[in-house]
């Protein structure tokens, strides 16, 4: 079997990858929605994989892995890897989890991130209570939630004098704010998170996505202040989303000084860049994203290494869409017992269920998803139904 083509098109704002073969088997994958600029990068990789056997996933990946980098520059390489596994599974007639060692669980747990724009609310304790009530009422029965807050939210701009630094506008990168927090801002942040956790009540777990942007002394103050809340974790407080580095030594100073679990990792590309973070016990929880870290096999390697060092894993997956959801399910099924839950890609339009086959509507029940046994990733695009959602210039995507 040989790869005959690699294409990338934008469907409803989301880049979708299609790899075709000379035996008529197609591999699909999807990249996080806010990354349409990655399309040219995918196309630049075409000549490196055409003519290769897609079933030899690692051999193909060795040809292109060098062309990726920290988020967002690992997206193209990662998504190609997903599509290769999709083809390999279909060719063998088995789900991808079988090729990754076999599932160790029949259901995988997901957690739901609650976004400010879903409710149109702000960052006050009352708003955080509304978020909690909204989460509990969602179809799917999630029992784990994550709230964007502090430097990972508009709280920076909404709360006067949140930190001693400039509130940047029109910054060329996400989450540009950083600086020493004011005393009043710290009290406000703790009050908001406390309100959300108390509103959730027994039987529900809460994590917070807090940065990057914290100085170490402030995240330690915050982490200690919320220790009684028994949070799942504080995510990406110092470095993280779109940071082109890790700062594992700084994270370790905070992690060793609080009982609140500390989390990072969604921006990291490749297992080698997790090595110091894991081996120094710099955090309690890691959160690699399958669409940024280098692929599904990469996540399994990282999870196994973390498990050896007593570190938990909760894969990131904010907006990878329905094909990204399929990939997350497959890899989460094979992770060791340090797996907590993966982030449910909630931000995709309902019509995706109409233009794909594999899910009979939203698959989450009680926060859990049954692991499918369909060949490959378990989800296929239906070209005849998806054509009308193609972006400009992508009319030949399904040809």
* Per-residue pLDDT at 283: 98
141-179 confidence digits (pLDDT tens): 999 999 999 999 999 999 999 999 888 888 878 889 999
**pLDDT surpassing 90 at residue 367:** yes
Cα 123 → chain centroid: 23
* Per-residue pLDDT at 187: 98
**pLDDT surpassing 80 at residue 35:** no
Domains and CATH numbers, the chain: 3-94+381-389 (3.30.390.10), 99-376 (3.20.20.120)
* Per-residue pLDDT at 36: 64
* Per-residue pLDDT at 359: 94
Three-state SS string over 216-267 comes to: HHHHHHHHHHCHHHCCCCEECCCCCCCCCCCCHHHHHHHHCCCCCCEEECCC
In which element (H, E) is residue 195 found? helix 183-200
DSSP 282: -
State the chain's mean pLDDT as an integer.
Answer: 95
pTM, whole model, 2 decimals? 0.96
Other beta carbons within 10 Å of 245: 10
| Percent of the chain clearing pLDDT 70 (strictly above) | 98
DSSP 283-335: -SEE---TTTSS-HHHHHHHHHHHHHTT-EE----TT-HHHHHHHHHHHHTTS
269-322 confidence digits (pLDDT tens): 999 999 999 999 999 999 999 999 999 999 999 999 999 999 999 999 966 689
């Amino acid at each position: 079997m040989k790869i005959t083509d690699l294409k990338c098109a934008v469907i409803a704002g989301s880049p979708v990858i299609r790899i075709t073969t000379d035996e008529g088997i197609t591999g699909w994958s999807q990249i996080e929605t806010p990354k349409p600029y990655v399309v040219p990068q995918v196309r630049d990789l075409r000549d490196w994989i055409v003519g290769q056997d897609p079933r030899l996933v690692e051999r193909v990946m060795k040809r292109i892995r060098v062309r990726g980098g920290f988020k967002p520059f690992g997206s193209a390489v990662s998504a190609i890897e997903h599509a290769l596994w999709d083809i390999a599974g279909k060719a063998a007639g088995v789900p991808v989890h079988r090729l990754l060692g076999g599932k160790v669980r029949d259901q995988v747990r997901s957690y739901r991130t609650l976004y400010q724009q879903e409710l149109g609310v702000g960052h006050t304790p009352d708003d955080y209570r509304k978020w909690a009530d909204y989460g509990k009422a969602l179809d799917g029965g999630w029992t784990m939630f994550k709230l964007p807050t502090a430097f990972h939210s508009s709280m920076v701009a909404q709360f006067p004098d949140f930190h001693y630094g400039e509130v940047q506008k029109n910054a060329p990168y996400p989450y540009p704010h950083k600086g020493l927090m004011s005393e009043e801002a710290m009290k406000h942040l703790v009050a908001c998170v406390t309100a959300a956790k108390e509103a959730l009540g027994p039987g529900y777990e809460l994590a917070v996505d807090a940065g990057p942007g914290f100085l170490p002394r402030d995240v330690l103050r915050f982490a200690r202040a919320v220790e009684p809340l028994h949070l799942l974790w504080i995510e990406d407080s110092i470095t993280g989303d779109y940071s082109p580095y890790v700062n594992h030594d700084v994270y370790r100073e905070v992690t060793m000084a609080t009982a609140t679990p500390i989390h990072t990792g969604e921006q990291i590309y490749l297992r080698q860049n997790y090595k110091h973070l894991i081996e120094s016990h710099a955090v309690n929880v890691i959160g690699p994203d399958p669409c940024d870290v280098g692929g599904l096999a990469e996540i399994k390697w990282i999870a196994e290494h973390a498990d050896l060092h007593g570190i938990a894993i909760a894969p990131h997956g904010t907006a990878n869409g329905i094909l990204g959801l399929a990939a997350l399910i497959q890899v989460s099924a094979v992770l060791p017992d340090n797996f907590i839950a993966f982030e449910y890609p909630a931000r995709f339009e309902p019509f995706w269920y109409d233009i794909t086959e594999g899910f009979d509507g939203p698959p989450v029940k009680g926060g859990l998803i049954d692991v499918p046994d369909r060949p490959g990733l378990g989800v296929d695009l239906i070209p005849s139904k998806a054509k009308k959602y193609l972006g400009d210039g992508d009319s030949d995507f399904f040809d």
